[in-house]
Amino acid sequence: TSFGYKQVREDEKSKLVGNVFSSVASSYDLMNDLMSVGLHRLWKDRLVSKLNPFPGMKHLDVAGGTGDVAFRVLDRIKSVGHRAMQGTLTATEEDTHIYVCDINPNMLNVGKKRAAERGYSEEHCLSWIQGDAEALSFEDGSMDGYTIAFGIRNVTHIEKVLSEAHRVLKRGGRFLCLELSHVDAPVFKEIYDVYSFSVIPTVGELVTGDRQSYQYLVESIRRFPEQEKFAQMIQEAGFERVEYENLVGGVVAIHSGLKL
């Protein structure tokens, strides 16, 4: 069965992930808000504040089809840029470039649509690129920053994603990953287990009519490496000063590392 703790076969996994995101792309925003009771917005804010974006930066947001992280990076750069206008700053806002990479064109389309709604459609600093996190099309040492939010859990080879992140970053570049992680506080863990095993699939079914996809998502959280183990994998990919921050007791964690 695919719902036990058994490993899902790799080809099945890619197919399942593809189905999950094709079927939920349209109700994606609603489900994000429902499942996280709106908290995913704050978690993404935190991710981007840790990134510390700056005008002129080249940034890659992987698995970022909906643009949620990219829009935050851009908004922050704009506010930094305006404050810096009075001071001296060589890098200009126009040099800024944010690349959104996602394997699924449906998700990229959701993102593009939202960019247009937000008035970003005319901006040259935002690119939407279909691609696989495990084999990026970007050049070595070309990015100042790399983010992946709720994306690495579903890939087939986490190690490949991490080594690609390391490859495309410049020296001094920062890697940041926001992902659903592991809770270990006793009582909270029990509550969270009930929530994720019962509430999420039920709400998912009610909203999208697709219980199986949400059941799969919950299983994928269980299979994902724990905080310490994932930090070790990031280190093994070549990153330094690797650390992580738990949010809501480990419901999500933000891992970070530097390419030095």
Confirm if 115 and 67 have CB atoms less than 8 A apart. Answer: yes
Task: Tell me how many degrees the CA angle 10-13-15 measures, rounded to the nearest 5.
Answer: 115
* Nearest distance from C-beta of residue 103 to ligand SAM, angstroms: 4
Q: Which residues contact 229 (CB under 8 A, 6 or more apart)?
A: none
* Nearest distance from C-beta of residue 181 to ligand SAM, angstroms: 14
Q: Which two tokens stand for residue 194?
A: 């009930």
Binding to ligand SAM by CB under 6 A, coded x per residue (else -) over 168-207, reads: ----------------------------------------
Scanning 97-105, 163-171, 184-192, 199-207 for contacts with ligand SAM by CB under 6 A, the matching segment is 97-105
Report the DSSP pairing between strands 240-247 and 252-258: antiparallel
* Nearest distance from C-beta of residue 25 to ligand SAM, angstroms: 8
Near ligand SAM by CB under 6 A: residue from 53, 66, 176, 196: 66
Position 208 contacts ligand SAM (CB under 6 A): no
| 84, containing H or E segment | helix 68-84
Q: Which two tokens stand for residue 152?
A: 């690495």
Near ligand SAM by CB under 6 A: residue from 2, 104, 109, 220: 104
* Nearest distance from C-beta of residue 248 to ligand SAM, angstroms: 16
H-state helical runs in 53-147: 68-84, 105-117
Q: Which residues contact 212 (CB under 8 A, 6 or more apart)?
A: none
55 vs 215, which CB is nearer to ligand SAM? 215
Task: Tell me how many degrees the CA angle 87-88-89 measures, rounded to the nearest 5.
Answer: 115
Scanning 148-156, 184-192, 231-239, 245-253 for contacts with ligand SAM by CB under 6 A, the matching segment is 148-156
Residues lying near ligand SAM in the complex (CB under 6 A): 17, 21, 62-66, 68-69, 102-104, 107, 132-134, 149-151, 154-155
